[in-house]
């Protein structure tokens, strides 16, 4: 069944309301995790949330250490940690909850006008003649390409900024190495390949997972219960892997601009 996503438009830009709400919720959950993990920090043996948080920091530090020396990687631990937690938590929202609300009549305050209802409503199951509009309010923000492309654009622009700040002359020279003919390939890599592959990988995996979950939830409980449980567990794993891959590639792109060997 098609799910409608309420939106509004400003100056030609479309703002998806559920995606915006879930993006803010994900940020608040990241803040909550950090607060709970650091409010009772101790220099002795860590316990509970502090132990978990220190493990995550060391995990992210290990990723950065693969591409940068310890001094350089320390500068980007906060960015990488925030990025990893945001993507990981965001990936899990649609997996663990996936809340859909069915409306049987327009609700203009939520962006569900009569025109929208007429265009997107479907016959309600088990109710002859009645229509309903299903809205996916609770979903992973990373299942929206606008979020993943926004994250990727932020990382790529930041990496170019770091390269220019570090060595403006070397940054310009890089575009023409090892020969001037490589300029076209470098442009394609930096402005086409990276901006497409980085966000599409994350979006594709999370969106496909949520679509399959929604499909299973619409089926018979007796038939889909076991496959759904298996798929939910697999989706949690995929969400963690995608957070790892995105964070790793972000650090790779940054290291290419700040490490001399690159």
pLDDT tops 60 at residue 262: no
Does residue 199 have a pLDDT over 90?
yes
- 219 versus 259: the higher-pLDDT residue is 259
pLDDT-based confidence at residue 98 (cuts at 50, 70, 90): low
Do the Cβ atoms of 90 and 151 come closer than 8 Å? no
Per residue in 9-32, pLDDT (tens digit) is 888 888 888 899 999 999 999 999
- For residue 260, the model assigns a pLDDT of 73
Instruction: Please tell me which residue, 132 or 257, carries the higher pLDDT value.
Output: 257
Q: Name the pairing type of β-strands 13-16 and 7-10.
A: antiparallel
* pLDDT tens-digit map of 223-249: 567 777 787 788 889 999 999 999 999
What confidence score (pLDDT) does residue 2 get? 58
- Per residue in 138-166, pLDDT (tens digit) is 889 999 999 999 999 999 999 999 999 99
DSSP states along the chain: ---B--EEEETTEEEEHHHHHHHHHHHHHHHHHHHHHHTT--SSS--HHHHHHHHHHHHHHHHHHTTS-HHHHHTTHHHHHHHHHHHHHHHHHHHHT-EEEEESS-BGGGTB-HHHHHHH-EEPTT-TT-EEEEEEEE--GGGSHHHHHHHHHHHHHHHHHHHHHH-HHHHHHHTT-S-TTHHHHHHHIIIIIHHHHHHHHHHHHHHHHHHHHHHHHTS-HHHHHHHHHHHHHHHHHHHHHHHHHHHHHHHHHHHHHH-TT-
Place of tokens 């098609």: 2
pTM as predicted: 0.87
Is the predicted pLDDT of residue 125 greater than 70, yes or no?
A: no
């Amino acid at each position: 069944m098609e799910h409608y996503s309420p939106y509004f438009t400003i100056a030609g830009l479309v703002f998806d309301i559920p995606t915006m709400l879930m993006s803010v919720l994900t940020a608040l959950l990241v803040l909550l995790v950090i607060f709970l993990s650091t409010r009772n920090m101790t220099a002795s043996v860590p316990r509970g949330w502090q132990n978990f948080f220190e493990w995550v920091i060391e995990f992210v530090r290990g990723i950065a250490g693969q591409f940068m020396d310890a001094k350089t990687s320390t500068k980007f631990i906060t960015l990488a940690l925030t990025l990893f937690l945001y993507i990981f938590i965001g990936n899990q929202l649609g997996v663990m909850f996936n809340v859909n609300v069915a409306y049987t009549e327009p609700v203009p305050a939520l962006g569900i006008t009569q025109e929208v209802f007429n265009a997107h409503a479907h016959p309600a199951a088990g109710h002859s003649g009645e229509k309903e509009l299903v809205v996916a309010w609770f979903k992973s923000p990373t299942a929206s390409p606008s979020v993943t492309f926004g994250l990727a654009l932020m990382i790529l622009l930041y990496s170019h900024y770091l390269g220019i700040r570090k060595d403006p002359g070397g940054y310009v020279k890089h575009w023409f190495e090892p020969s001037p003919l490589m300029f076209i390939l470098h442009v394609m890599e930096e402005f086409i390949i990276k901006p497409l592959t980085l966000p599409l990988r994350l979006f594709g995996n999370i969106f496909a997972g949520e679509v399959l979950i929604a499909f299973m939830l619409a089926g018979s409980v007796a038939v889909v219960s076991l496959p759904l449980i298996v798929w939910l567990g697999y989706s949690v794993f995929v969400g963690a892997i995608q957070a790892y891959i995105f964070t790793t590639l972000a650090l790779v792109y940054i290291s290419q601009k700040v490490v001399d060997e690159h």
